[in-house]
Amino acid sequence: MKETPTQLSLVKRVEVRFSEVDSIRAVWHGNYVKYLEDAREEWGRKYGLGYMTIFENGYYAPVYQLSMQYLQMATVNDVLLVNIVYCKTIGGKIKFQYEIRRESDDAPVLKAESLQLFTTREGEFSPCAPDFYVKWQQEHNI
Amino acid sequence: MKETPTQLSLVKRVEVRFSEVDSIRAVWHGNYVKYLEDAREEWGRKYGLGYMTIFENGYYAPVYQLSMQYLQMATVNDVLLVNIVYCKTIGGKIKFQYEIRRESDDAPVLKAESLQLFTTREGEFSPCAPDFYVKWQQEHNI
Amino acid sequence: MKETPTQLSLVKRVEVRFSEVDSIRAVWHGNYVKYLEDAREEWGRKYGLGYMTIFENGYYAPVYQLSMQYLQMATVNDVLLVNIVYCKTIGGKIKFQYEIRRESDDAPVLKAESLQLFTTREGEFSPCAPDFYVKWQQEHNI
Amino acid sequence: MKETPTQLSLVKRVEVRFSEVDSIRAVWHGNYVKYLEDAREEWGRKYGLGYMTIFENGYYAPVYQLSMQYLQMATVNDVLLVNIVYCKTIGGKIKFQYEIRRESDDAPVLKAESLQLFTTREGEFSPCAPDFYVKWQQEHNI
């Protein structure tokens, strides 16, 4: 099996902003990309694989694929809980699964997956896992 | 086969804004959701299936699924050409495929798909295709 | 004197998002409008003059004037403290003063002022203070 | 008089996006900051004082003050015409005045002013006008 969820997860709390809802008072669907990134950044800080760590090792990890499934609308003042889980994959990839629920009634709001690849700072895709990432995986028994 | 691209397509021209690039001077990946919607809105105006038409018939058509594949980074002042194609599906769905290319060098930037479902104004999912949508499909030989 | 700061204030904590910084790693200057609104919404909930309260009384309170002075750049992962103060004015206006500081070093980041006017739901400006607002002011000794 | 409008102006055409209107179908007030910047970027390309020119001369020109006055609401699919005028000032400042009108009925939508100062790439404010800016002013008879 290529992708296996791991124990490396967390829940990020996000408050929906007034400016994030659209003309039918639902969170505009593009704003969820921000909420997912909020969770990813928090995850990176917690597990030592954040944006800055990657950068300082000479790489970027741009999002290569992103898919979202919208289950229920959220609205102004809703508090959303973004559950993010790191998934084990083969090679130089960073894969996450996400589930967003509304805090007040635990309603499922969104499911998503993202896949990041490594590039050098010049923008060249890195076919293999960078050394620092292999080491990070070993330290976390992945 | 469930989904077939049709001739109902167009190309929407989008200029990348300064505020849309991130700290590595690439368009922030969430901003593509706006570019796709720009194309969808223009398509709706051209083919008579826009946001307002749907609303006036008593429905919303929220995005239910969205997936994006990022092929190349775009940056400030790039002009992007968003090609949107309506796909034939079964039942009450609106399905689009997208391809974004950079105008200057025709480089492929992004591929995407979106799926919209119909809901009543009260937010209930509509299991069948609404009458006005069936009629619209017939008028366009779909 | 036309405008006097009152005791009706609060401090809203905001985390800067990755997607909110621009290509020189500074918070893009337009994003501060969101942070100010975050504070205003929180203030509205605390003091009973929020978006929904105004709406339920038959009015909107759109921003009529907004001015911002940028003192220092903030960047990714900075935590900002937005201090918002309600100011006493004449007539049907809602006036706020804001000061944003960085949590880590208390550096001043932004100063701002906003002025909102009342409109009916049809969009007509209301020349006088609506009754519910006069009552709200009395209850808060303004 | 310290500030004088010049002939260095242009009109930038902006289409309002669906994602830019809020829950009362009006353009969310923070989005005008983007429209103003759109005009400023276009102006910079036309008159040779764009973001990249400033950067290549070793400087940034961050916005130091921004004030906006909202005259009328705009909504989805409105086309806005942003008139931007460069104003003559003393010292190392870049000052613009803006007026936004709706294309369809010429209604005034917004008035604004921005002031930018020069900083070095290290973020230090430059008290004097940089040489390249003095030269640019001379070439344009300012």
Q: Which fold has domain C4-139?
A: Thiol Ester Dehydrase; Chain A (3.10.129)
- β-pairing verdict for D119-120 and A63-70: unpaired
Q: Taking the C-alpha atoms of B37, B42, B43 and B47 in order, what is their torsion angle to the nearest 10 degrees? A: 140
**C138: CB partners within 8 A, 6+ apart:** none
Give all strands (DSSP E) within A16-134, no chain letters: 59-60, 63-70, 79-88, 93-102, 108-117, 119-120
The reply to whether residue D18 touches residue A23, judged by beta carbons under 8 angstroms, is yes
C:41-100 residues touching chain B, CB 8 A cutoff: 76
- β-pairing verdict for C108-117 and C4-15: unpaired
How far does D26 lie from chain A, in Å, by closest CA? Answer: 8
Range from A116-120, B99-103, B124-128, C72-76 carrying the lowest mean pLDDT: B124-128
Beta bridge partners, A93, equal: A117
Task: Tell how far CA C57 is from the center of its chain.
Answer: 20
Residue type, D40: R
B37 touches chain A (CB under 8 A): yes
Per-residue confidence (pLDDT) for residue C76, from 0 to 100: 86
Average pLDDT score, chain A: 93
Q: Is B2 or A86 the better-scoring residue by pLDDT?
A: A86
B22 touches chain C (CB under 8 A): yes
pLDDT tens, C31-63? 999 999 999 999 999 999 988 899 999 999 999
**Burial class of residue D133 (count of CB atoms within 10 Å of its CB; 0-12, 13-18, 19+):** buried
Which has the closest alpha carbon to D71: D63, D80, D62?
D80
Closest partner CB to B19 (pick from D15, D17, D34)? D34
C34 touches chain D (CB under 8 A): yes
| pTM of the model as a whole | 0.89
Instruction: Tell me: pLDDT of B1 over 50.
Output: no
Q: Considering just the CA atoms, what is the radius of gyration of chain A in Å?
A: 16
Per-residue confidence (pLDDT) for residue D2, from 0 to 100: 64
Average pLDDT, stretch A19-38?
92
Give all strands (DSSP E) within C20-62, no chain letters: 59-60
Average pLDDT, stretch B69-97?
94
Cβ neighbours of B77 (radius 10 Å): 17
Per-residue confidence (pLDDT) for residue D18, from 0 to 100: 86
Domains of chain D, residue spans: 4-139
SS3 D133: helix
Which has the closest alpha carbon to C63: D108, D33, D70, D27?
D70
The DSSP code sequence of D43-67 is: HHHHHT--HHHHHHTTEE--EEEEE
% of residues, chain C, pLDDT over 70: 99
The Cα C126–Cα B81 span in angstroms is 45
Per-residue confidence (pLDDT) for residue C91, from 0 to 100: 86
**pLDDT-based confidence at residue B71 (cuts at 50, 70, 90):** very high
Q: Is C91 or B10 the better-scoring residue by pLDDT?
A: B10
Per-residue confidence (pLDDT) for residue D1, from 0 to 100: 45
**pLDDT-based confidence at residue D41 (cuts at 50, 70, 90):** very high
Beta bridge partners, C30, equal: none
pLDDT tens, D76-116? 889 999 999 999 998 899 999 999 999 999 999 999 999 99
B23 touches chain D (CB under 8 A): no
Average pLDDT, stretch C74-100?
95
Tokens representing residue B61 in the block: 């058509």
% of residues, chain B, pLDDT over 70: 99
How far does A17 lie from chain C, in Å, by closest CA? Answer: 7
- CB-based contact C112:C32 (threshold 8 Å): yes
Scanning every residue of chain B, which has its alpha carbon at the shortest distance from the alpha carbon of D14?
B15
Residue type, D63: V
- CB-based contact B109:B117 (threshold 8 Å): no
Which has the closest alpha carbon to B77: D44, C30, D95?
D44
Between the CA of residue B22 and those of A11, A93, B18, C17, C75, what are the distances in Å? 25, 21, 9, 11, 12
**Burial class of residue C64 (count of CB atoms within 10 Å of its CB; 0-12, 13-18, 19+):** buried
The reply to whether residue C23 touches residue B24, judged by beta carbons under 8 angstroms, is yes
- β-pairing verdict for C59-60 and D59-60: unpaired
Instruction: Tell me: pLDDT of D26 over 50.
Output: yes
Q: Is A31 or A18 the better-scoring residue by pLDDT?
A: A31
- Structural element, H or E, at residue C42: helix C32-47
Scanning every residue of chain D, which has its alpha carbon at the shortest distance from the alpha carbon of C37?
D30
Instruction: Tell me: pLDDT of C1 over 60.
Output: no
Tokens representing residue B27 in the block: 């368009």
The DSSP code sequence of B15-75 is: EPPGGGB-TTSSBPGGGHHHHHHHHHHHHHHHHT--HHHHHHTTEE--EEEEEEEE-S---
How far does A51 lie from chain B, in Å, by closest CA? Answer: 11
The reply to whether residue C66 touches residue D64, judged by beta carbons under 8 angstroms, is no
SS3 C46: helix
Residue type, A37: E
SS3 D97: strand
**A135: CB partners within 8 A, 6+ apart:** none
Per-residue confidence (pLDDT) for residue A19, from 0 to 100: 87
Phi, psi of C44 (to 5 degrees): -60, -40
Average pLDDT, stretch B28-56?
94
The Cα D79–Cα D73 span in angstroms is 12
The reply to whether residue A29 touches residue B70, judged by beta carbons under 8 angstroms, is no
The Cα B99–Cα A72 span in angstroms is 27
- ipTM surpasses 0.85: yes
**pLDDT-based confidence at residue A1 (cuts at 50, 70, 90):** very low
Give the Cα-Cα-Cα angle D28, B78, D93 (nearest 5 degrees).
Answer: 65
Give the Cα-Cα-Cα angle A127, A130, A134 (nearest 5 degrees).
Answer: 120
pLDDT tens, A58-104? 999 999 999 999 999 999 889 999 999 999 998 899 999 999 999 99
The Cα C111–Cα C70 span in angstroms is 7
Per-residue confidence (pLDDT) for residue D47, from 0 to 100: 97
**pLDDT-based confidence at residue C2 (cuts at 50, 70, 90):** low
% of residues, chain D, pLDDT over 70: 99
The Cα A60–Cα A3 span in angstroms is 22
How far does B33 lie from chain C, in Å, by closest CA? Answer: 14
Average pLDDT, stretch D70-76?
93
Which has the closest alpha carbon to C75: C105, C53, C97, C49?
C105
Average pLDDT score, chain C: 93
Cβ neighbours of C129 (radius 10 Å): 18
Average pLDDT, stretch B3-24?
91
Average pLDDT, stretch B114-124?
92
Which has the closest alpha carbon to A82: A111, A60, A122?
A111
